[in-house]
Structure 1
Amino acid sequence: MALSNSLRPSSTLLWDSVNKQSFTYTSTSYGYLTNGREASFFRTPAATVDVNSFVPSPSDSGFREQSPIPKLQDTAEGITHLRAALNGRDAMDRPSSKNNANRYHKQREAQLSSAMATNKTFSLSSLYPLRGSDLFALLRRDFDMASSLAEAACNVADILLNQMSSFTKLQHSTDPLVQLAGNCTPVCETSPTICNVRGKLPDDLVGAYVRNGPNATYMNPGEGFHLFDGDGMLHAVKMKDGKAVYCCRYVKTARFKQEEAAGRPLFPKLFGGSGEPFTFARTIILAVRVALGLVDISKGCGLSNTSVSFFRGQVLSMSEDDLPYIIQITESGDLVTVGQYHLPGIKYMCAHPKFNQITGEMFSFSFTPTKVLPFSVLRVSGDGLISAHIPVPLRDTPMLHDFAITGKYIVFADHQFMIRPFKCLWGGDMLVQNHDKTPGVGLLPRYSLPSDAAYKFQWLCTPACNCMHFLNAWDDGPDQVVVIATSTTSIEALTNVGGSKSTCSLMEIRLNTETGKATPRPICAGNFEFGTLNQKYLGKKSRYMYVTSGKFPDISAIVKLDLELGKNNASGRHTSVARETTVVAKRKFGDGCIGGEPFFVPQMRSEGNGKGKQDEDDGYILCYVHNMLTEVSELLVMDAQTRDLQIIASVVLPSRVPCGFHGWFISEEQLEQQYNRNSL
């Protein structure tokens, strides 16, 4: 079925002032602007355009010719033009609707104006419902373009559902105009590009720093969207001989490839759809597509947007809604998705595995909502074989995101934030907070057998400690376990990114396995979330932590903490209140700058250099920072031992790096391992 000429969409030239490039937007009235790519919803070839003189393609049958937009400015005119582009018609020709719809439209315009004040590029859904002529033309075109009657029926159902949902008022936590504001706005892929370096990169800093994060691609008009719903995008800087190469690529998941081939969203948004009245209908449409063979969910439908790890000579991109994806870092610095990392009988794996650098083992956990005991601990040998698969007897289904290991135990949090994966499918809230529940921490002996878990698992209550991220844990004597973790006061920190009033503090929790008593204390006053340490000390007693300061995504500084300074100097015992003296170094990014999670890279020392044992903090801190005022993104390389975390070098990146989550440094030796593995 071919697209008739009378329904040809019009094209508009837009200017991405952040990435300093022009791109074509192909309007469809159904569609949206997506990542600065050619945004025809059905992959219709865009018209040839010229930067200096652009004339849009003529259109009819409800699609009005648009005014040229040679440059998108932060002005009222720019907002008007953008609104026109997003709707495929004159922006002032609004649908005649009821008063409540008009009020909602004005509210959305105000949100767009606010977003325009801090953004230069956008990825937004359609702002208004379609007019009758537009809807008829779009239905006709979608029917013509489908390869089968079944596909056409599903596409038409999509359009009708989007028409109804366009009148729904979106919450702050699920409105794409809010969720994708500031430095959360998506970006285009960038091929390997040689970067300018300010200062001098250390000679021993050789490898690639890769960070993961969400980058929105496809969304339906009127559908709720949360930052966590973005497709995974990797940002990598490969460094060697004082030179740096930057590249960013989508993780080509099974879900991403199917939506890219279809040119439209096929899967409901897990977080954005939470609490939305039309989520159940979108789930039904997906189920019909699966039943008709139009969508394949057998290979997973995760986003792979959370973290990066390295295991058995392979770089892994991870999120807990799927299996890891294997990423190849080429010699040129490009990022290539190889495929899934398969584990027999496992469909999901957490995004924060832990590694034993001596044995080569990987510890992780899996969540399978259809099982009686949905959480299972995984122990994978250095040969890649599952040596243990142990169900964890949790009291209910908390949203487990991270865990910790010591020499003797695996440590889990049983917090108040509950996950309801099936409830969200019919419009309920996927994440809820049970205020009546007392949070706790669970200990499972590290080398337990599956038959032992039921009676060897020990629970200890930790009031007011909702631990989401674990920085480290270690054994302290025969009956003491020390846990360093972040604690969040409210589930708003997860569901309302950028608008949450909740705080996140760094806690030390001392667990007495003999008495069953837990003693939590704040390590330092402040709002901390993401953190790192010298990975050589994972599962062992460590002294230094490097954490972010400020509420995500507005991270304003990196702070170095000395845990030893949290002790009472006179008695040697730990104090029960937070002490500012634990802060021994701090790097503020400056006005208009937004940073990300830090990562510690130990300094590489050659033998015979005349130095003794290497200090725990002898190394570098890597961190992406974007300056919203100058529109420049950089990778900062800081000296971890200096009082102000002195910047040794700065890699100036060719495009913006949006806010993201977790990263990993792949050493030169590890890069060689993956090259050798891929050549076999």
Structure 2
Amino acid sequence: MSTTENPAAPPKLRPVDIAHHTHLTGVFAPQREEVDVHNLAVEGELPHDLSGEYLRNGPNPRFDPIGTYVYPIDGDGMVHRIAIRDGAVSYTNRFVRTPMVVAEEAAGRAIWGGVMDPYAPPAEEVGPELAGRLRDLPDINVVRHGGRLLAMAEAAQPYRLDPKDLSTLGPDTCGGAMPVGSTAHPKIDPETGEMVLFNYLFEPPYLTWAVIAADGSVVRTPTVVDGLDKPLMIHDMALTRRYIVLFLCPLVFDFVAVFRGGSVLDWRPQDGLRVALIPRDGGPVRWCDTDAFWVWHFANAFDTPDGRVTVDYAEWSFPSGFTGQEEPARGRMARAVINPETGAFDRTVVSDRDVEFPRIDDRRLAGEHRHAAAVGDSGGRDGVFDSLLFFDMAQGRETSWNAGALSVGEPIYMPGSENDYWGMIGTDRNDMTSWFVILPVDDPASGPLCRVRMPIRVPAGLHGAWLPD
């Protein structure tokens, strides 16, 4: 069916014009094919000391969308797996089959609109169990913890996947730690094995946090964070040995505005930004106030010997796409040092180049790290990143690798038994072939050690994890 034909769409939800939508064309175009392919072609030398799987999630509408489509929030989840073992590479991809995806597959078309559409289908269209429900969107991240493999949503229950074939097992509360849900970026403490998570809510109390032990049991059930008087979008968190670190940027949910024809999200920079340092031992929250900016993603945070907290993150002047401003937001890599006792917030710019998706070696989370990496955009292509930036925090050194025609995704740190590597998925903008690229951590600017040809085009996506054997 073409993007202009959808006779069963609700009267108020017209088909999205895919041909002219930035995030539904080119490297973002949806992939509807599911495959299992072994012995992929490798250009260069595949590191012999790597053994494990790279999994990545991302928005990928199963059918042509109706209503609106707002990247990166909308879109059904598709999880991609690149397995490296015994000198060979294989690839598998699967949709996260929520009840909404299953119903639409039965109908052969989209039924639900985007998150900005206040519409839920009636019982006569989808049955009593799904009537009145909005679309589940476990399309942001993928996490392995406590025997569970989870496709994470923005602020809802994750969906559990079968680690063997990536088939969907269903929503999971993780033993009661997520009765309503979790945001997409829980953090796993490599020392304790605990997974610490938070969730924002649309009604009071607006914000909770919880902890899951290494064995998957619940250590702390959802605990209220007092001090919020309105619902905020808070996408990511950072973790130290002592604190959960949340930047409460002033992106406010305004549901009244939706019914007046406005946006569900309202950027209010005049409110400033509040930092919440939540003690992991359950003590009172420490608050800090500063001027407004926006943060999608953190690289890491750690406690310093003098009791302060250091936080590395990608900072944006405002959340582009949610403010009505036509000019693009300006991004940069930043480091903040926060004093929990005085509330002082000291910020320095690590790199003034546009960056996003900062990552470190996950074995260093919550502690001091040396290496960090992020994607960069040198051409202003509206979210299409064409370079990787690498930061040696110990030496204060920045290097980069220009990927040329390759649009690269989030870098992932992959420890080997002898050496360590950065890996990422990229798609060639000229011929739309996709590749998994591996670079050495010691000298990433030297370029790839190898490139693995993907059997199908992998759409530009969001977050993932390296799961060592």
TM-score by length of 1: 0.63
Give distance in 2, aligned partners of 1:662 and 1:405. Answer: 18
Change (3 A) 1:231 1:470: same
Does 2:380 correspond to 1:553?
no
Q: Match for residue 186 of structure 2?
A: 353
Identity of aligned residues (%): 24
Equivalent residue, structure 1, for 2:4: 126
Cα separation, partners in 2 of 1:477 and 1:310, compared to 1, 3 Å: same
Q: 1:494 to 1:329 in 2, by over 3 A?
A: farther
Aligned pairs for 1:472-511 (under 5 A) are: 472-493=300-321, 501-511=328-338
Measured after TM superposition, the shift of residue 358 of structure 1 is 2.7
* Structure 2 partner of 1:626: 427
Separation (CA, whole Å) in 2 of partners of 1:293 and 1:260:
18
Q: Residues 61-106 of structure 1, C-alpha deviation per residue, up to 9 Å, x if partnerless? A: xxxxxxxxxxxxxxxxxxxxxxxxx3xxxxxxxxxxxxxxxxxxxx
What per-residue deviation string (whole Å, max 9, x for no partner) do you get for residues 110-137 of structure 1? xxxxxxxxxxxxxxx217xx9xxxxxxx
Question: Paired residue for 1:385, among 217, 232, 248?
Answer: 217
Q: 1:296-307 to 2 correspondence within 5 Å?
A: 301-307=135-141
C-alpha distance in 1, partners of 2:374/2:126? Answer: 47
Residues of 2 paired with 1:355 and 1:178: CA distance?
Answer: 34
Q: Matches of 2:277 and 2:312 in 1, distance apart?
A: 14
**Separation (CA, whole Å) in 2 of partners of 1:555 and 1:589:** 9
Alignment of 1:3-152 (within 5 A): 32=1, 86=2, 125-126=3-4
1:463-501 CA-partner distances (Å, limit 9, x unpaired):
24322211111111243110111111122256789x861
Question: What is the match of residue 61 of structure 2?
Answer: 216
Within 2, Cα distance between the matches of 1:321 and 1:422?
Answer: 20
Q: CA RMSD in A?
A: 2.7
CA contact 2:301–2:367 (8 Å) conserved in 1: yes
Amino acid at match of 2:252: M
Q: Determine the structure 2 residue equivalent to 1:656.
A: 457
TM-aligned CA deviation for residue 460 of structure 1: 0.8
How far 1:382 moved relative to its partner?
2.2
1:380–1:386 Cα contact (<8 Å) kept: yes
The corresponding residue for 1:142 is: none
* Shift, 1:627, TM fit: 0.7
Structure 2 SS opposite 1:510: strand
Match of 1:367 among 197, 200, 207: 200
Contact between 2:173 and 2:181, CA under 8 Å: does it hold in 1?
Answer: no
SS at match of 1:471: strand
In 2, Cα distance between the equivalents of 1:294 and 1:202? 49
- Structure 2 residue corresponding to 1:204, chosen from 49, 52, 57: 49
CA distance in 2, matches of 1:664, 1:601: 9
Displacement of 1:291 after TM fit? 10
Quote the Cα distance in structure 1 between the aligned partners of 2:365 and 2:323: 30
The one-letter code of the counterpart of 1:237 is I
For 2:191 and 2:446, locate their aligned partners in 1 and report how far apart those are by CA, in whole Å. 30
**Partner residue of 1:438?**
272
> Secondary structure, in 3 states, of the residue corresponding to 1:295?
coil
Work out the CA distance in 2 between the residues paired with 1:192 and 1:512.
Answer: 50
Task: Quote the Cα distance in structure 2 between the aligned partners of 1:596 and 1:206.
Answer: 21
Matched, 1:185 2:17: no
Report the counterpart of residue 130 of structure 2 in structure 1.
295
Instruction: Go from structure 1 to structure 2 and tell me whether the alpha carbon gap of 1:481 and 1:293 turns closer, same or farther (over 3 Å shift).
Output: same
Displacement of 1:505 after TM fit?
1.2
Separation in structure 1 between the aligned mates of residue 189 and residue 375 of structure 2, nearest angstrom: 26
Q: Secondary structure at the match of 1:256?
A: helix
Which structure's residues are more often helix, by fraction?
1
> How has the CA–CA distance of structure 1 residues 559 and 515 changed in structure 2, closer, same or farther, with 3 Å as cutoff?
same
> Would the aligned equivalents of 2:359 and 2:374 in 1 still touch at CA under 8 Å?
yes
Moved over 4 A (4+): 287-292, 493-497
What CA deviation, in whole Å up to 9, does each residue of 1:387-424 have, x standing for no partner?
A: 22211123532211101111111110111222335754
Q: TM-score, normalised by structure 2?
A: 0.90
Which ranges of structure 2 fall in alignment gaps of 5 or more residues?
none
**Secondary structure in 2 aligned to 1:179?**
helix
Shift of 1:461: 1.6
Which residue of the other structure, out of 357, 365, 381, is the alignment partner of 1:530?
Answer: 357
Cα distance in 2, alignment partners of residues 235 and 542 from structure 1: 28
Say which one has the larger Rg.
1
Partner of 2:455, secondary structure, is: coil
Aligned length: 460
- Residue deviations 1:571-613 (CA, integer Å, cap 9, x gap): xxxxxxxxxxx31x321111x32110000012224xxxxxxxx
Is 1:587 aligned to 2:388, yes or no? no
Q: Secondary structure in 2 aligned to 1:214?
A: coil
Counterpart residue identity of residue 626, structure 1 = T
State the distance in 2 between where 1:425 and 1:302 align: 22
Decide whether the 8 Å contact of 1:532 with 1:546 is kept in 2. Answer: yes
Name the CA distance, whole Å, in 2 between partners of 1:503 and 1:336.
Answer: 39
> Residues 360 and 220 from structure 1, CA distance in 2 versus in 1: closer, same or farther, beyond 3 angstroms?
closer
Q: Distance in 2 between matches of 1:356 and 1:177?
A: 39
The one of 341, 355, 360 equivalent to 1:514 is: 341
Kept in 1, the 8 Å contact 2:154–2:183? The answer is: yes
**Match of residue 310 from structure 1:** 144
Instruction: Between the two structures, name the one with larger relative contact order (CA 8 Å, sep ≥ 6).
Output: 2
